[in-house]
Amino acid sequence: MNKILFLLIFFTFNFLFSQQIDLTKIEKKYLENKKSLNLCIDPSWMPYEKIEDDKHIGMTADYIKLLEKYIKTEIKLVKTDTWSQSLEYGKQRKCDVFSLIMPTPSRKTYLDFTKPYFDIPLVISTQIDELFIKDIASLNNKNIGIVKDYAYAEIIKEKYPEINLIYVNNIEEGLEKLAKGEYFGFIGTLYTLGYAIQKEFVGKLKIVGKFDEKWELCIASRNDEPLLKFIFDKAILSIPKEEKQEILNKWLSIKFEKDYFSPMIGILTVSILIIIMILLINKKLSIEIKKRKEAEKFLKLTMTSANLGVWSWNFNTNKNEINDIWALILGYTKEEIEVDLDFFSFVHKDDLHIIKTALDKHEKNEKNQYECEFRMRCKNGTYKWIYSNGRIVSRDEKGKPFLIVGIHQDINDRKVLELEVFKQKDLFIQQSRQAAMGEMLENIAHQWRQPLSVITTVASGLKISKELGDLKDEDIDYSMDKIIKSGMYLSQTIDDFRGFLNRTKNKTTVNIKKVIDNATYFYKTQFDKEGIELVLNIDDCVINSYENELLQCILNIISNSVDALSSVENTNKCIIIDVYEKDDSCIISIKDNALGIKDEYLLKIFEPYFTTKHKSQGTGIGLYMSHEIITKHLLGKIEVENVKFKYLDEKSKGACFKITLAKDIETIDENLIKN
C-alpha cells in the first residue's frame, strides 16, 4: 500500500513539474504584466505552420500549445498574408514572438533568438523528368525559385552567386510555377517540399538533390524586451524528446511500431507494401510509355501533314540531324545530305546575318525562342524561303548553348505573294507621285506665266527703244535686272521641282518648317486663284526621317484641301497648318474650312481607290498612299476628323488631318523603301 501511494505521489509531482519551468521572479512578474503575447508565423509553410480559417495549425502550433502551458501565458496569433508581412510586423513591434525563424544579421537588429529546436536539410525540387543533381554547381546560370525573405535565400545568394534566384511569395506559388515550367527548380526544406509534393504534385514534381547547408530554426522574440528570450530558452529546453517525436510523427506520418511478439509480421507487411508500390509504379510507367508513344505517333503524323522539317544542331561540332521532310523541302533525300551536314552551307549568304542575330538574341535570353525567315538553296540550284523556329534545350557547365532543336517550314509561296504585294504598293506610290506631279506641273505653269511675261515685255521694250534710237544705259540696266530676277525665279522653281522628283530614300535630318514651305510653295498660284488664305503656326521641329516621303504626304493633303475649298462658296477660305512638339513626337495638323467630310466617308478615307471626287477627277490613291507611307515607312500615325473652329471671328467647319511622327525612327523595310 505504501509503495502504491509513493508511486502516485511521484507521478503526480513529475506531471506537475513537467508542466512548469523555473522562472525568476522578474520573469514571472513580466509575464503577469504582459498578460498575453502576440505571435507571428509564416502563413503558408506546411507542415511546419499555416493560417487556416484564422487558426494556427501545423507542427509549430503544437509546440506553441506546449509552451503556453509552460509559461502560463496566452499566446495570440497575429494574422498576416505573407512571410514578408510577418517580418515587417516584427519590425513594427506588432509581434512579440516568432514561432520558427532563422537568425540573420538583418533580423538581429530587431529580434533575439533562442537556441535552435529544428535542424532541417535544404533540398531542391524539379519537374518529374529531370535527372538527380549530384553537384549544386550544375545549377549555375539556371533560374531557381525560392520564397522571398526566407533566411536561406540570403545564404544561397551569398554562397552560390551564379544561381539566378526567382523570388515568390510562398511555397504553393513557387511549386505551381515550377510545375508550369517557369523555372528549372525550387529550393526549400526537405519536410516542406516533401509534404507539398505528396499533397498536390505527385507525378509532376520530385526532390532531386540537397545542399550541404542545414537550416537551424529558433524561436525569436522582440529585442526591446530581452526577458522573452530567456523565458523561451527555458521553455524549449523543458520539452521532452518524446513529445517532440510525437509532434514530428503526427505531421510527417512517420510511425514507429514495435511488435515484441511477431517482428516478422512487420517486415512482411513492409515487403508486401514495397512490392505493391513497385507494381503500381510499373503499371503507371507502362501507361505513361503507351501515352508517350501515342503522342509521338500523333506528333509525327501532324508534322508530316503540316510538312514540317525537324532538325537538331550541336553548337560544338556544328553538326545537324534532320528528318526526311527537312531534306524533301529542298528537293533532296535524307541520305543525300545527312553525311557531314553543314546547315549554313545551304543558307543564302545575304541571309546569314539574320540567323546569327536571331540566335544571339535567344542565347542571351532576350527572346524565348530562336525564330527567323531566310532563303535556302535547293537541289536544282534555286533558293526557297524557309521559316525556322527552335529553342536551346541544353547548355554546358559554363552556360553556353550545347544543343538546339527546331522545325523548318516551306513559306516560299507566301513570301512570293508578299513581294508581289510590295510591288503593287510601289505601283500605287508611283501613281500617286505622277498624279501629284501633274498637279504641280500645272501650278508651275501658272507660276511661270508672270516671269515669262516680264521677260518678253522687257525684251520687246528694249528692242523698240533701240529701233527708235532712244535706248539709254539706265534703261538697259533696269531691264537686265528684271530679266535676271525673273530668270532666277524660273531656275528656283525648277530646282524645287527636281527636289520632289529626287528618288533618294536615305534617312536625313528633316526640318518640318522647310517641308511645309516647299509643299505650300507649289500651290501658291492655286491659293491666289481660289482666294485661299494660308495660316502657318509652326514651331521649330526637327526629326530624323525620310524627307521626300513626308513631302509627298503633305502635298496630297493640301491638294485635297484646295480641291474641297474650290467647290464651296466662302469669302474667307483658309488652310491652317500647325506644327508643334509633344513628348518625343512632332505633330503636324492641317485643317481647312471646306465644311468637312461626310461621316460615312470618314472610316473609308484611307482605303485604296476610295475618293469623294468624280471618277474623272480623282484616283483615290493619294490619301491611301499617304496613310501607307506614314504608318509603314515613317512609323507614324495619321488621323482625320471634322472640327469646328473660329476664323476671322466666323464659325468655321472643316476636315483636320493630324500626323504624329517620332523624332527618330529605326530603319525598317529598307528594301521596300528603296524599290
Do 193 and 100 fall into the same domain?
yes
Average confidence (pLDDT) over 620-631: 76
Write out pLDDT tens, residues 352-405. 999 889 888 888 888 888 899 999 999 898 999 988 888 888 888 778 888 888
Burial class for 209, CB neighbours closer than 10 Å (0-12, 13-18, 19+): buried
Report the pLDDT value the prediction gives residue 528, as an integer from 0 to 100: 84
CA distance 171 to 231: 31
Range in 2-6, 320-324, 498-502, 538-542 with the lowest mean pLDDT: 2-6
What band does 8 get if pLDDT is binned at 50, 70 and 90? Answer: very low
Closest C-alpha to 669, from 457, 421, 490? 421
**Residue 276 within any structural domain of the chain:** no
Report the pLDDT value the prediction gives residue 643, as an integer from 0 to 100: 95
Do 455 and 400 fall into the same domain?
no
Enumerate residues 6+ apart whose C-beta is below 8 A from 271: none
Report the pLDDT value the prediction gives residue 130, as an integer from 0 to 100: 81
What band does 486 get if pLDDT is binned at 50, 70 and 90? Answer: low
User: Which of 214 and 228 is assigned the larger pLDDT?
Assistant: 228
Do 342 and 403 fall into the same domain?
yes
**Residue 293 within any structural domain of the chain:** no
**Residue 44 within any structural domain of the chain:** yes
Neighbours of 328 (CB within 10 A): 14
Do 52 and 109 fall into the same domain?
yes
Helix (H) or strand (E) holding 404: strand 401-410
Q: How many residues would you count in the chain?
A: 675
Do 425 and 480 fall into the same domain?
yes
Domain count, the chain: 3
Average confidence (pLDDT) over 462-476: 75
Do 125 and 145 fall into the same domain?
yes
Q: What is the CATH number of the domain that holds 493?
A: 3.30.565.10
**Residue 590 within any structural domain of the chain:** yes
Average confidence (pLDDT) over 79-92: 91
The domain of 185 spans 13-252
Report the pLDDT value the prediction gives residue 15, as an integer from 0 to 100: 41
Report the pLDDT value the prediction gives residue 592, as an integer from 0 to 100: 95
CA geometry: angle 298, 304, 307, nearest 5 deg: 140
Neighbours of 323 (CB within 10 A): 18
Q: What percent of the chain has pLDDT over 70?
A: 78
Enumerate residues 6+ apart whose C-beta is below 8 A from 485: none
Report the pLDDT value the prediction gives residue 14, as an integer from 0 to 100: 45
Do 528 and 565 fall into the same domain?
yes
**Residue 290 within any structural domain of the chain:** no
Write out pLDDT tens, residues 391-447. 888 888 778 888 888 888 888 888 887 777 666 666 656 665 565 566 556 655 655
Write out pLDDT tens, residues 151-169. 777 778 888 888 888 998 8
Domain boundary (189, 222, 252) is at: 252
Domain boundary (410, 442, 475) is at: 410
Report the pLDDT value the prediction gives residue 117, as an integer from 0 to 100: 82
Given the DSSP bridges, would you call strands 185-189 and 143-147 parallel, antiparallel or unpaired? parallel
Do 67 and 158 fall into the same domain?
yes
CA distance 319 to 339: 9
CA distance 566 to 555: 16
Encoded amino acid at 647, one letter: Y
What band does 637 get if pLDDT is binned at 50, 70 and 90? Answer: very high
Do 491 and 547 fall into the same domain?
yes
Q: What is the CATH number of the domain that holds 89?
A: 3.40.190.10
Q: What percent of the chain has pLDDT over 90?
A: 18
Average confidence (pLDDT) over 277-305: 63
Do 509 and 568 fall into the same domain?
yes
**Residue 263 within any structural domain of the chain:** no
Residue 13 has pLDDT above 50, yes or no: no
**Residue 166 within any structural domain of the chain:** yes
Q: What is the CATH number of the domain that holds 364?
A: 3.30.450.20
Do 401 and 454 fall into the same domain?
no
**Residue 266 within any structural domain of the chain:** no
What band does 534 get if pLDDT is binned at 50, 70 and 90? Answer: very high
Do 236 and 207 fall into the same domain?
yes
Residue 655 has pLDDT above 90, yes or no: yes
DSSP 499-541: HHH------EEEEHHHHHHHHHHTTHHHHHHHTEEEEEEE---
Which residues on neighbouring strands pair with residue 642, listed in sequence order?
655
Report the pLDDT value the prediction gives residue 254, as an integer from 0 to 100: 36
Residue 675 has pLDDT above 90, yes or no: no
Write out pLDDT tens, residues 134-148. 777 778 888 999 888
Q: What is the mean pLDDT of the chain?
A: 79
Q: What is the largest CA-CA distance in the chain?
A: 169
Q: Please state the separation of Cα 504 from the chain's center in Å.
A: 36
What band does 336 get if pLDDT is binned at 50, 70 and 90? Answer: confident
What band does 599 get if pLDDT is binned at 50, 70 and 90? Answer: confident
Report the pLDDT value the prediction gives residue 660, as an integer from 0 to 100: 95
Domain boundary (355, 375, 410) is at: 410
pTM for the model stands at 0.36
What band does 17 get if pLDDT is binned at 50, 70 and 90? Answer: very low
